[in-house]
Amino acid sequence: MIPIKLTFEGLYSYQHRQTIDFEKLTSNHIFGIFGTVGSGKSSILEAITFALYGKTDRLLLSGDNRNYNMMNLKSNQLFIAFDFTAGKNGEVYRVQASAKRNSKRFDDVKKIDRALYKKINDKFIPISQEELESTIGLSYDNFKRTIIIPQGKFQEFLQLKSSERTQMMKELFGLQKYELSAKVKNLELENNASIQNLSGRLEQLGEVSVQQQKELQLQLKEIENNLQVLLREQIKHDQAVLALEKLKENTAQLSIYQKKADELNKQKESIIKLQKDIGAYEYCIIHFKNTLESITVVQQKTQALQGEINADQLLLQKTQTDLNQLNIKFEQISQEYKTIERIKKEIDDLGKLSEAKRLILKINSDNQRLKKGEAFITELTHKLKSMEVQEKELMTTLSELKKQRPDIETINRAQQWHLHNKNLNTLIDDTQQEIKTGNEQSSKLMQQLRNNLQQAGFSPATDDLKQWLEELSKSTEHYEEQLKNINKQRDSLLVQSGLETYALQLTDGRACPLCGSEHHPKPHNAGDIRQQIKTYKEKAEKTEALLQHNRKLTRLIERYAASNKPIQTQLKTLDAKVTRILNEAKEHQNKIVPQYKEEELLLKAAKTYTEINNAIDADEKKLLQLRERYAREVKNTEKYNQELIKIEREIDKNQSAKEILLRNIPDKLINNLKETSSEQITGKVHELQSIVSKTTMEYEHLRKQLEEHQKVAAVLQSKIDINKKHLQSENKHLDALQLKLEADIANSSYSTKDNILSILSLQLNIEASKQKIQDFHNNHQLIHNEIQKLILALNKQTYHAEKHQKAISLAAEYKKEIDAAHRKHGKTETTLSELNKKLTLKKEITEELAKLKLRAADIDTLRKLFYKSGFVNYISSVYLQNLCVAANQRFYKMTRQSLSLELSQDNSFEVRDYLNGGKLRSVKTLSGGQTFQAALSLALALADNIQNLTQTQRNFFFLDEGFGSLDKDSLQVVFSTLKNLRNENRIVGVISHVEEMQQEIPTFLNIVQNPETGSHIQESWKT
């Protein structure tokens, strides 16, 4: 992605519309955006990222109210327009974002609308967010890590967790396509299922062979020949049988039709009579049937009504008789019913007397319980006094034991003193051993250094490293000066050698390419220059070798110094530690507990304390148990006292209830039943209650019966009256019908009603009878025709059953032989067909199984290769390794050949420190400046990879932090690195407030903030 133009308004500190011409800004390949802190430098980057992705790091959360907070507080609208090129062919794209403030509510900023376009044929066509991100080739998070890096995010890639960095590699370089584990697993499952399926099918086929196929084919051919002969013979015999069967059938049909003709002749007279009856029946139906049926219906109704009236009158008489008897019974039971109230009063008095006797028994029982309870309370009181005595004895024993127990605080203090004393002695021994080991390591390193120096031809007389380095430095400076002079003289000879090339090409009349002269009186002659050049080259190589030798010795000494320095520092620390521990041990002796100076006395005292303490614990446990029992007994005493109080109250309550009951019972009843028990009284109560219940039930039953009979008598009388009225009406209707019938008979050919009824009693089905007559005539004609046809067909032939049966038997024998031959042929043919199918299937399955097993081996190889995400992680590691190599080309130079980046086994970044024996250490140990250098190198390497991935012609990289943490020398290295990027066809933008940076970058934007009008952009090429 290469920016072309950015226009924005109302964004953060920018009130008025600002436009940045990136084509001019990026003309020198490196540019800067400078300004004071808070002037609005980073807002330019946010404008670009929000336009592209609709997101910003500053306002990312849902509660940030981005719409309101992004808009300048003095502006009523926000606008961003960003033009850029992207993609392989450098297509032009435009993204716009805009929003307006609600004129009525200041804090209500409408939704920020974004529109995305691609320029096609000089027209901007809308596109989707997905299409735009696909063209850029980066997600929002990866865009911030590789192209436009906002504040606080520059070191993110360097310090990402290995899993997050691997995921980033997958997204950047599309490594998801290598996630093939699941696909291989599916292939393996499908292939194994196919192998299992084919193996099972092969087993189901059983043993089949080509020899079996040939034998069956021969058998089939022989059966077919035999079958042809049998079929020809069968045809002949079947034709003879068919002719005889046809003769038999025609003879039988002729006999049948002749019999039918005889039967029809017998029916002729009855058919003629039926025709006469149908005429008379139809006349009676039309003229008399309806009237006769109506007369019959009315007669039936009158008979039914008369019968119903007679039955109801009989029932009414019976009901009246029953009603008289019920009235007599009801009068009797009414007299008994009047005595019920007196019986109920007697029942109530008996109930009260029974309850009073029960209360007397209860009072006597409670008095007995009260006496027993008082005796039990007295016993509990004696028991409690005994426990109190035991408690006092245990308290005295515990007091004596506690006086005899040694002081535990003194014992603990003495134990701590002895323990700390042992620890101090152990610590002194261990520290002195560490000092000894450190001195041995230092001596060993010095001896290794001397051996290495002696092997290199350097044998110093003293152990002064500083003096060694000064000697080597002087020697190195001498060799460098000598090499400089040699190279200078060699360069001069090389120039002369180059002139000789031109001199050899000079000819009179042709212009010299150096001076232009056409006359060359004395051309240059190099003579023995080549030999001199060779000599100087050898001298330079020898001097360079001596120089490298000195540098190697210097690195050996510096490496020793770097390795020995931590050891010496550690030795000083250990010496101080020993001194401190000795002083602490001396002070510790003054804190000894005098009575336990000897550890044996301390152990004896601790043992005595434990024994006495155990005895105290045992007695305290007994005391606790005693007190718990005492508390339980006290609780029981209180409980029994409460129960006694309840019994006394119950006695008083029952006594009062008894007196009240006796006052409400007649004295006569009390005296009569004085010796009668409560159970006997209760029995008498039940007996009286039974009498009351029985009398009441009988009274109610008779009353209901009486009411029901009265209702029935009324209903019957009403019904009889209604039915008599209906009977009178129906008799009038019957007389009218009789008169009509007599008139119709007089007008007909019939003399009496009985003649008409006789004809109607025939119950003829007119349509069926007419159809029967028609069928008779049709059948008679049909049978006559069929008889004539059969006589012609027989042609005077006679059927013989014996001849026919013989022909059938012979044909059946041939048929059996043919059926047997067909079955044998079908069975053989089926067996052969199945065998052919099995042989073909076996061949196909065997070939397919071989292919699948070969494929299974290939799939197994793929499964191991793509197990889980191993292959993708491997590819990611390769990309990271390549990225690390590319980054080291700058980082190694930035750190003056002292540091390089490497990948650990888990794809975390580590640093190899060449100033400390080339050992590895964590990137977290880098200084602020070194961390910036490493992050910058990785970011530039990532940008190169993105350029290759998107196939763009140029690379764009924007950085918004880091320079303030660098020292002057490191800043100079960064300046040099950024300048060199111009030669790599790359555009680099930096945002900084460091003054030295502005002096090094001639093309820049300066952001100036005005309190009234907001931030403004000043372009360096316009000032």
The predicted pLDDT at position 969 comes to 66
Beta strands in 792-880 (DSSP E): none
pLDDT digits (tens, 9 = 90+) for 295-340: 888 888 888 888 888 888 888 888 888 888 888 887 887 777 787 7
Q: What is the mean pLDDT of the chain?
A: 81
- pLDDT reading at 713 higher than 70: yes
DSSP class of residue 116?
E
Give the confidence band of 501 by pLDDT, cuts at 50, 70, 90: low
Q: pLDDT category, 494, cuts 50, 70, 90? A: low
pLDDT of residue 507: 65
Among the ranges given (98-112, 313-327, 419-433, 755-769), the one the predictor scored with the smallest mean pLDDT:
755-769
- Return the pLDDT at 514: 47
pLDDT at 84: 93
User: Tell me, what's the pLDDT at 199?
Assistant: 83
Read off the tokens for 385: 């006094």
Cβ neighbours of residue 98 under 8 Å, at least 6 residues apart?
A: 77, 78, 79, 80, 112, 113
User: Which residue did the predictor score with more confidence, 678 or 322?
Assistant: 322
Please state, in angstroms and rounded to a whole number, the distance separating the CA atoms of residues 440 and 849. Answer: 72
| C-alpha to C-alpha distance for 486 and 494, rounded to whole angstroms | 12
Give bridge partners of residue 441 from the DSSP assignment. none
Q: What mean pLDDT do residues 692-708 have?
A: 84
How far apart CA 836 and CA 520 sit, in angstroms, is: 104
pLDDT for position 154: 55
Q: What is the CA radius of gyration of the chain?
A: 67
For 866, the 3-state DSSP assignment is coil
Q: Does the pLDDT value for residue 558 go beyond 80?
A: no
pLDDT band at 81 (very low <50, low <70, confident <90, very high): very high
Q: Let me know: does 301 contact 723? Beta carbons within 8 Å.
A: no
> For residue range 891-950, what is the model confidence (pLDDT) as tens digits?
888 787 888 998 887 778 899 988 888 888 988 888 877 887 888 788 888 777 776 766
Tell me what percent of the residues of the chain surpass a pLDDT of 70. 91
The stretch 717-736 carries a mean pLDDT of 84
Checking if the pLDDT of 375 tops 80, the result is yes
What is the C-alpha end-to-end distance of the chain, expressed in Å?
A: 29
Q: Which of 98-102, 165-169, 249-253, 587-591 is modeled with the greatest confidence?
A: 98-102
Q: What value, to the nearest 5°, has the Cα angle with vertex 51 and ends 47 and 57?
A: 60
Whether the CB-CB separation of 76 and 160 falls below 8 Å is answered with: no
Ranking 29-38, 172-181, 416-425 by mean pLDDT, the lowest is 172-181
**pLDDT at residue 813 is higher than 90:** no
CA-wise closest residue to 384 among 688, 635, 32: 635
Least confident window among 260-274, 428-442, 971-985: 971-985
- Take residue 732 and report the two structure tokens written for it: 């009038």
Asked if residue 10 has pLDDT above 90, the reply is yes
The 8-class DSSP code of residue 105 comes to -
Rounded to whole angstroms, the Cα distance separating 79 from 100 reads 9
Lay out the sheet containing 30-35: strands in order across.
148-149, 955-959, 986-992, 30-35, 1004-1010, 1014-1019
Task: Give 3-state DSSP helix, strand, coil % of the chain, rounded to 5.
Answer: 75, 10, 15
| Residue of 930, 879, 861 whose CA lies nearest to 900 | 930
Whether the predicted pLDDT of 657 surpasses 80: yes
List the domains of the chain with CATH numbers.
Answer: 2-151+955-1019 (3.40.50.300), 211-276+778-840 (no CATH)
DSSP output for 908-976:
-EEEEEGGGTTEEEEGGGS-HHHHHHHHHHHHHHHHHHHHHHHT-SSEEEEE-S-GGG--HHHHHHHHH
Higher-confidence residue: 698 or 961?
698
* Residue with the larger pLDDT of the pair 76 and 688: 76
Contacts of 90 (CB under 8 A, 6+ apart): 2, 952, 953
Residue 471 CB contacts under 8 Å (≥ 6 apart), including other chains: 460
Residue 458 falls in which region: left (phi positive, over 0), alpha (psi -120 to 50) or beta = beta
What counts of helices (H) and strands (E) characterise the chain?
25, 15
Confidence of residue 389 (pLDDT cuts 50, 70, 90): confident
Q: Kindly report, residue by residue over 770-797, the tens digit of the pLDDT.
A: 888 888 888 888 888 888 888 787 777 8
Q: What is the pLDDT of residues 201-247, one digit of tens each?
A: 877 777 777 787 788 888 888 888 888 887 877 788 778 778 778 88
